[in-house]
Amino acid sequence: MHQQTLLATLAASLAALPFAQAGLYSKSSPVIQLDGKSYDRLIAQSNHTSIVEFYAPWCGHCKNLQPAYEKAAKNLQGLAKVAAIDCDDESNKPFCGSMGIQGFPTLKIVRPGKKAGRPVVEDYQGPRTASGIVDAVVSKINNHVAKLTDKEIDAFLETDGEKPKAILFTEKGTTSALLRSIAIDYLDVISVGQVRNKEKAAVEKFGISSFPSFVLIPGGGKEPITYDGELNKKDLLEFLKQVGSPNPDPAPAKAKSGKKAATSKAKEAKEAKESSSTTSSEASSAAAPEATLIEIPALKSKAELEEHCLHSKAQTCVIAFVPASTSEMRNKIISSVSQLHTKYVHGKRHFPFFSLDSDVEGSATLKEALGLDGKIELIALNARRGWWRRYEDGEFSVHSVESWIDTVRMGEGEKKKLPKGVVVEKPETTEEAKIETEAPAAESEHDEL
Ligand SMILES: *[C@@H]1O[C@H](CO)[C@@H](O)[C@H](O)[C@H]1NC(C)=O
């Protein structure tokens, strides 16, 4: 069966492409074609999120995926990168090996981590449809858009007074992929914010009468400019260019002049050196799990919070309360806890770690119940046994968080009693006495994280 597919594919590709170009995607395809080197430059170093398909041209599932993947690439144009690498090509094999590829196709979502060139890489295991892929990738586009309330708008405008700002006034509570991608293009060049229509003072301040409205504040005391074109990426970028150029996200190399090739070679060599632990050794995927950071899962609703951490049978949970908008501190704590999470996932026993954005329902209530007033807080909580502990250090380095986790593990340090009303009963939980005396259940249900 496989043999036959292989022969058929070979015959077809030889007929169609006499110059031994056996890849699945043609030159005009919207899918970016990678090799081990360009992966680093185009994907790992990018500020944008990407999805990368690792494939072999003879693989039937890869061929089946091709139309959906190209459709996803079209739909994600300007929002995220869609790329593919032929792992059957000899020169790509070491790279595919270093990424731990064991079957085809393998899809990985790659997005910028805290450090340039050290992206967060996750397997995509959702449906192999264009919409499945698009939804998953869109949900992984980093959010650098500040959500602004009436209270926060002045501080936002005053920070770095010379720096241009752009604000979208909208009826929506969520931040669109388009706005997130614009904030990424203009990282450190234009601060991008979003204001909801219910923020009356902010809306009035800018004289906004319809939603959505997009306003550019050039900085240096200049008058705000309201955008009146269509809300599409191309036109919005054109509008924003009057105050600054977007970051130079590397595009796939086209011109092949000797000079250019040499420059990019030197750059690649430098980049490869800087991020050597991500891609260099074939052994890295097996021996060094930290090479691929597994970000802690986010609790996205009150129901998820209760289900994982607050019902009366819940085991110890570690929860990072973080502000909904991106900040250095937010990135730091998520990165620290994710590094530990990654380490523990590869070990045997671990606590489940979660992040909880401040705008998720139930977050504020829980913080209030526990008397937590920091924008960023880290706690361990055991609803079943009725205790919780607070991480007090405030430093949030990996080392400091790890020592705290160790004290939690060892049962050291101050345990606080969970106040009434925090733990929710599961309807089926009627025999509380029995639960109390049960031996602690294995935490293995979380090992799949
Ligand atoms: C990524 O963003 C930074 C600003 O945070 C910028 O200096 C850099 O040029 C961007 N990189 C690319 C490849 O666009």
What does the pLDDT look like over 22-69, one tens digit per residue?
Answer: 689 998 999 999 998 899 999 999 999 999 999 999 899 999 999 999
Instruction: Report the pLDDT value the prediction gives residue 239, as an integer from 0 to 100.
Output: 95
pLDDT higher than threshold 90 for residue 186: yes
pLDDT tier at 252, thresholds 50, 70, 90 = confident
- Closest protein CA for atom 8 of ligand 1: 247
Residues 426 and 371 in one domain: yes
Lowest-confidence pick of 128-137, 305-314, 439-448? 439-448
The residue segments making up the domain with residue 233 are 146-240
Residue closest by Cα to atom 9 of ligand 1 = 247
- What per-residue confidence (pLDDT) applies to 338? 83
Is the domain of 435 the same as that of 303?
Answer: yes
pLDDT at 192 (0 to 100): 97
Give the nearest ligand 1 atom to 246 CA: 14
> 200, 216, 240: which is the final residue of a domain?
240
Q: Once rounded to an integer, what is the mean pLDDT over residues 356-379?
A: 92
Per-residue pLDDT at 429: 39
Q: What is the whole-number distance in angstroms between the Cα of residue 167 and the centre of ligand 1?
A: 21
Among residues 200, 215, 240, the one where a domain terminates is: 240
Residues 360 and 386 in one domain: yes
Residue 419 and residue 315 in one domain: yes
Assess if residue 180 is contained within a domain: yes
Give the pLDDT score at 267: 45
Q: Does the residue 287 lie in any domain?
A: no
Q: Are residues 417 and 329 in the same domain?
A: yes
- Give the atom of ligand 1 at the shortest distance from the alpha carbon of 45: 13
Together in a domain, 134 and 168 = no
Residue whose CA lies nearest to ligand 1 atom number 10 = 247
Tell me if 163 is assigned to some domain: yes
What is the SS3 string spanning the chain? CHHHHHHHHHHHHHHHCCCCCCCCCCCCCCCEEECHHHHHHHHHCCCCCEEEEEECCCCHHHHHHHHHHHHHHHHCCCCCEEEEEECCCHHHHHHHHHCCCCCCCEEEEEECCCCCCCCEEEEECCCCCHHHHHHHHHHCCCCCCEEECHHHHHHHHHCCCCCCEEEEEECCCCCCHHHHHHHHHCCCCCEEEEEECCCHHHHHHCCCCCCCEEEEECCCCCCCEECCCCCCHHHHHHHHCCCCCCCCCCCCCCCCCHHHHHHHHHHHHHHHHHCHHHHCCCCHHHHCHHHCCCCCCEECCHHHHHHHHHECCCCCEEEEEECCCCCHHHHHHHHHHHHHHHHHHCCCCCCCEEEEECCCCCHHHHHHHHCCCCCCEEEEEECCCCEEEECCCCCCCHHHHHHHHHHHHHCCCCCEECCCCCCECCCCCCCHHHHHHCCCCCHHHHCCC
Q: 245 in ligand 1 pocket by Cβ < 6 Å?
A: no
Same domain? 25 vs 132 = yes
Task: Find the 412 Cα to ligand 1 centroid distance in Å.
Answer: 43
- What pLDDT, on a 0 to 100 scale, did the predictor assign at position 352? 83
**Per-residue confidence (pLDDT) for residue 401, from 0 to 100:** 86
Question: Ligand 1 centre and the CA of 182: distance in Å?
Answer: 13
Q: Does residue 449 form part of some domain? A: no
User: Is residue 347 predicted with pLDDT exceeding 70?
Assistant: no
Of all protein residues, the one whose alpha carbon is nearest to atom 12 of ligand 1 is 249
The mean-pLDDT minimum among 138-147, 184-193, 389-398 falls in 389-398
Q: Residue 158, Cβ neighbours under 10 Å: how many? A: 8
Residue 267 within any structural domain of the chain: no
pLDDT at 368 over 90: yes
Closest CA to 33 of 107, 86, 87, 71: 86
CATH code, 314 = 3.40.30.10
| Structural domain includes residue 177 | yes
Is the model's pLDDT at 14 over the cut of 90?
no
Nearest CA to ligand 1 atom 1: 47
Q: Is residue 395 part of a domain?
A: yes
Q: What is the mean pLDDT of the chain?
A: 81
User: Is any atom of ligand 1 closer than 6 Å to the C-beta of 326?
Assistant: no
Nearest to 77 by CA among 110, 42, 30: 30
pTM for this model (two decimals): 0.56
- Note whether 380 and 304 are same-domain residues: yes
User: Phi/psi of residue 318, each to 5°?
Assistant: -110, 125
265 belongs to a structural domain: no
Q: Which of 215, 240, 265 is the last residue of a domain?
A: 240
Q: What is the pLDDT of residues 58-101, one digit of tens each?
A: 899 999 999 999 999 999 999 999 999 999 999 999 999 999 99
Q: In a mutational test of the pocket of ligand 1, which residue from 181, 247, 264, 331 has the highest number of ligand atoms less than 8 Å from its CB?
A: 247
Q: Which atom of ligand 1 is nearest to the CA of 112?
A: 1
- Write down the pLDDT at residue 339: 81
pLDDT by residue (tens digit) across 93-102? 999 999 999 8
Whether residue 188 sits in one domain with residue 126: no
Nearest atom, ligand 1, residue 189 CA:
4
Same domain, yes or no: 326 and 182: no
Number of domains in the chain: 3
- Answer yes or no: do 359 and 420 share one domain: yes
Percent residues over pLDDT 90 in the chain: 56
Q: Contact 353/391 with Cβ under 8 angstroms?
A: no
Which residue among 185, 188, 190, 274 has the greatest number of ligand 1 atoms within 8 angstroms of its CB, and so is best to mutate?
188
pLDDT in tens, 399-444: 888 888 877 877 777 789 999 889 998 644 333 333 332 333 333 2
pLDDT band at 393, cuts 50/70/90? Answer: confident
* Local confidence band at 254 (pLDDT 50, 70, 90 cut-offs): low
Is the confidence at residue 172, as pLDDT, over 50? yes
Say which range, 150-154, 278-282, 346-350, 369-373, has the weakest mean pLDDT. Answer: 278-282
Closest ligand 1 atom number to CA of residue 46: 13
- What is the per-residue pLDDT for 350? 65
Residues 135 and 155 in one domain: no
